Chains A and B, each alone.
Chain A
Amino acid sequence: MNKKMGGNVQLGTVLALVLMCAFLAFANRNFYSPGNIMGILKQTAFNAFLATGMLLCLITAGIDLSVGANAIFCACLMGSLKEAGMTNGYVLMLAAVLAGALMGFINGTLLTRLHLPHPFVSTLGMKNVLWGAALVVTGNKMINRFPESVQFLGRQTIGTWGGGFPVSFLVIIILYVIMHIFLSRTALGRSIYCAGGNMEATRLSGINTANVLTFCYTMSGIMAALGGILSVGRSGICNGSMATQPYDTDAIAACIIGGASFTGGKGTMVGTMIGALIIAVLRNGFTLLSIDSSVQNIVLGLVIILAVFMDVVRASMEAKRRRLAAAKSL
């Protein structure tokens, strides 16, 4: 019964995506041009990386508000290492992933070992720390001319249709398939859902919930680092001041639109992918229809509020269903 419900919710989101695409195709003939579609996929990829980590945290009933700043920090770290004379791109990327993982690990440790009350506060603090750190390591400068290997993920395409299929989106598809299997078919994956559903029951079942949570935040950091590497390839530069962009809210919106909940225990990779596509199509549509960027912000903000509202409605519907079922089993 629950499976069916979950399916329906995702059907609704898929429908929303289809309707948006239909509307945009009608409103602007460029929407379905191959180049534009590939552009949307490129845009989706960055958010999809951040949303992967965000989803893990949301499932545990937590949140990671530092993903955007972490991504930019990792990009800037690569830039500063390059400026310092490191030309091997693989070393730069390894450094970025390790740094991202470390930041995520610190977020997890603050929550589980130092018992800060809610990751909202600690990751919000971390966001500011990373923003400042990104500016410090780059000396407030934009850095460009990264090695080819670093830019591969964000720049490379396959084939020629519409300028080629972005490698970044291909990587995202592979990542999402792996993460889907991980979340649904492995012991650790199920532990993440259970920890989010009832932390105490999960701990008393012999699962080290502190480690599970720390894992989720560390993963979130790694995903942010991958997003950072991608951003360098896409733009060719790193820029510390980008850390204040609303990347975190885009990631949260993708997860929530896709069926995750702030109360934890819920959310899927498939749903998150659809959520990320919706956000990208929305932003793309604004650009095509030449809507002012400040209006974009307003509409996107409203979409996020709507998504959270949908989450609340969904929760109350579920509670009602459970009440009826419980009354039935009385």
Chain B
Amino acid sequence: MSEYVVELKNATKVFPGVIALNHMQLAVKPGEILGLIGENGAGKSTLIKVLTGVYQADEGEIYVNGEKKEFKNPNDSAAAGIACVYQELNIEKLLSVTDNIFINKWIHKGLLLDYNAMHKKAKEVMLSLGQDVDPTKAAGTFGMGIQQMIEIAKAVLIDAKMIIMDEPTSSLGEKEVEQLMKTCRELKSRGIGIVFVSHKLEELFELCDRVTVIRDGEYIDTRPIDQWDNDSLIRAMVGRTVDNQFPKEFGEKGECFLKVEDLTVGGVLDHVSFEAYGGQILGFSGLVGAGRTETARAIFGADPVDGGKIFIKGKEVHIKSPKQAIDAGIALLTEDRKGSGLVLAESIRTNLILSSLSRHSTGWFLDDGKIEESGQGHINTLRIKTPSIYEIVGQLSGGNQQKVVIGKWLNADTEIYIFDEPTRGIDVGAKVEVYNVMNDLVKRGKCVIMISSEMPEILGMSDRVIVMRGGRVMAEVERGSKNFNQEDLMKAAWGGKLDE
């Protein structure tokens, strides 16, 4: 019997023109939580897909409980006891919790389905994961945290020996993350091995027994958690020391560019008021669901508003559509670049000019000269890695896609830039480049609003921070004030009062 529940040895996977995995290895003990980290593009996704049978490795072996296995498809992997909770959940929102859990594993009573038994079992499984929910209700009526638990319940139900969690906390609020960690520990105590993929180091330190680092498709190192620290993990991931994660530069504080008064959206925003100045980055902190994105969308005219006033440079504006917002000098980089930021099937060229078509036209026609020039300029300054501006955006990596969205908004040349989670899901190098774009904007006197769920990013980049909770502004903290620290911002986000 092997020491490991699942062991991947010497796996190599080659795609046309690229070696995605190069003699990769991964070993998970029963009843342990193994952290798996690497920059974007390190090969995590490919590694997961090889383990779940979505891809077949060109070389290498997989052992489950010491027995050599071959996964021709995801069913083989599932039959061997490997389950994966993907970042993008496979939940049928209109079907009940029970239907979601028992999909393809129905309990029958004669020819019919035995819903009584299934509801009962579903309730039990969810309870064992710490969730007391009504299994007859539609899955979509629950939050992301519970939807994720439904996925985990599926894994538990097939008696998974190992569960891979692919960035499970990226879409969860603080409280849901805590519940998830509790559940992970519970699964661990049942002897299940967990592979926990995360971009958040604190989570790894809190949860994991060991951490494996991979880079550029290669295995780098695995150590027990107490033999890692922040610096050594980052060094292992990037192969170099990141001296300054946040290259903060300061602009000159200008006039009040944006003043929001009592912005209200029924059930979502409750009299949100704040001011944002030129030459500054205003950070928006808070838990997921605090109403930050909704505030941005309401200001931008993307969603209807029920009340409140908006002033731009002292003049009241009535913005009813994104077009009016852009004309008034506001840009919004949305948090979901694939869903609402890019036209994936179109070229970089088209995406870059989408918010500034008239500026790139001469008379009735688009001006190829202008488009080429500005497009090439963005590729150079933003360092978009691509052979040409005619490449299809859907084929770029996440970081490069995000740079295209940023380029689109730089083209709009507005006064106020709202960046909603601008560095989500992109690698460290691309993050720094995004920060530099923001630096550049404030130095040019523009007003930047940055919504971020990463506390270090908020503290590293903001000149001032607004903390929201439950659709309301909880606190406003100036950089350099005594409250400008992680603990106090967190306290405000949880509803605590800050002493002035």
Contacts and interface: CB of A to CB of B under 8 A. Distances in A.
B326 to A, nearest CB: 4
**Size range of the interface on A?**
20 to 34
Interface string A204-235: 11111000000000000000000000000000
A89 interface: no
A266 B345 contact: yes
B439 interface: no
Contact of A330 (B45, B325, B392): B45
A187 B357 contact: yes
**Size range of the interface on B?**
35 or more
A21 B412 CA distance: 51
Contacts, number: 112
A204 B342 CA distance: 10
Interface string B320-359: 0111011100001010000111111111001001110110
Interface stretch (A91-99, A111-119, A166-174, A318-326): A318-326
B357 A191 contact: yes
A160 interface: no
Given A186-B366, A202-B343, A207-B323, A194 B397 contact: no
B365 A194 contact: no
A204 B343 CA distance: 11
Interface in B1-39: 15-18, 20
Contact of B345 (A186, A197, A206, A329): A197
B357 A190 contact: yes
A330 B332 CA distance: 27
Interface string B31-63: 000000000110101100000000000000000
A327 B300 contact: no
B394 A326 contact: yes
A204 B357 contact: no
A265 B347 CA distance: 12
Nearest to A211: B323
B357 A328 contact: no
B302 A204 contact: yes
A244 B428 CA distance: 61
B16 A265 contact: no
Interface in A174-190: 181, 185-187, 190
A145 interface: no
A200 interface: yes
A324 B394 contact: no
Interface in B353-392: 353-355, 357-358, 360-361, 364-366, 390-392
A201 B341 contact: yes
Nearest to A198: B343
A204 B339 contact: no
A116 B160 CA distance: 45
A187 B350 contact: no
Contact of B18 (A3, A205, A328): A328
A2 interface: yes
A198 B393 CA distance: 12
Contact of B400 (A187, A208, A328, A329): A329
A165 interface: no
Given A190-B357, A205-B408, A330-B46, A197 B346 contact: yes
A49 B9 CA distance: 62
A329 B15 CA distance: 10
Given A190-B350, A193-B350, A322 B343 contact: no
A203 B323 CA distance: 8
B395 interface: yes
B344 A198 contact: yes
Interface in A74-100: none
Most buried by A among B302, B358, B395, B400: B395
Given A201-B342, A328-B16, A3 B390 contact: yes
A1 B326 CA distance: 33
Q: Which 3 A-B pairs have the closest CB atoms?
A: A187-B357, A197-B343, A206-B326
Given A187-B357, A327-B46, A330-B43, 6 more contacts: A186-B361, A197-B343, A197-B344, A203-B322, A327-B15, A328-B18
26 contacts: A2-B392, A3-B390, A186-B364, A186-B366, A187-B358, A187-B360, A190-B353, A193-B343, A194-B346, A197-B345, A197-B346, A198-B339, A198-B342, A202-B343, A202-B354, A205-B322, A206-B355, A207-B323, A326-B394, A328-B15, A329-B18, A329-B397, A329-B400, A330-B41, A330-B43, A330-B46
Interface of B: 15-18, 20, 40-41, 43, 45-46, 300, 302, 321-323, 325-327, 332, 334, 339-347, 350, 353-355, 357-358, 360-361, 364-366, 390-392, 394-397, 400, 408, 412
